[in-house]
Amino acid sequence: MKLKELRDQLSGKSIEDRLEILTTLFPGQVIFTTSFGVEDQVITQKIFSNNLPIRVVTLDTGRLFPETYEVFSQTTIKYRKKIEVYFPDYLSVEKLVTEKGPFSFFESIDNRKECCRLRKVVPLSRALAGMACWISGIRADQSGNRSQMSDLEYDSDKKLFNFHPLFDWSLEDVDNYIKENSIPYNSLYDKGYLSIGCEPCTRPVLKGK
């Protein structure tokens, strides 16, 4: 299927309807990766509440905040659904930490890229293998370059469609939806964190900055 054809099929539909259309067009080949951020929690709610046959996957890098595991647990309990977990290859991580120590990513850009590749990029590639459509929580106003993107794109490197169902939402839209639907969210957001990844590399920021 071509990108324009898929855009035409999804145009004007609700998020729930678009997600359902994708599962019909690509049965067993639609995946959503969550880091348990607020945007991801909204999408998780829409998938689980509507019993959509979409794989929900998370990457456990081994360096996540305790608060992230807490919202992970709250989410599975609330919706009574399973979230698939992908870990890094333990031999590669053992070698990295043994040779360079636990905080090598602070020492150089190359070291940081190496750590991210082993803990995130490689496990993500395993998760995406055989998938036709990858759903993510990207919003247009998160950064200048993202505003140049579209809610539906084709990744020629990974050879799959990228769908961003909350692309046109504001952070306020996300916050309101979380509250209105009593969705579990990471308590670190209340402490100034807007993007929550690995604990050593994540810092709180002021909203709007």
pLDDT of amino acid 149: 85
Distance CA 193, CA 205 (A): 6
pLDDT of amino acid 162: 97
Q: Tell me the pLDDT band of 147, cut-offs 50, 70 and 90.
A: low
More confident position, 101 or 202: 101
DSSP string for 168-208: T--HHHHHHHHHHTT----GGGGGT-SS--BGGG-----TT
Tell me if 67 sits within 8 A of 89, measured CB to CB. no
Q: Across residues 130-155, what is the average pLDDT?
A: 87
Q: Tell me the pLDDT band of 137, cut-offs 50, 70 and 90.
A: very high
Tell me if 76 sits within 8 A of 83, measured CB to CB. yes
Tell me if 130 sits within 8 A of 29, measured CB to CB. yes
Domain boundaries, the chain: 3-89+131-185
Say yes or no: domain 3-89+131-185 is CATH 3.40.640.10. Answer: no
Share of the chain above pLDDT 70, in %: 96
59-99, pLDDT tens digit by residue? 999 999 999 999 999 999 999 999 999 999 999 999 999 99
Would you give the end-to-end CA distance of the chain in angstroms? 39
Lookup: tokens for 37: 């951020």
Q: Tell me the pLDDT band of 209, cut-offs 50, 70 and 90.
A: very low
Q: Across residues 140-163, what is the average pLDDT?
A: 86
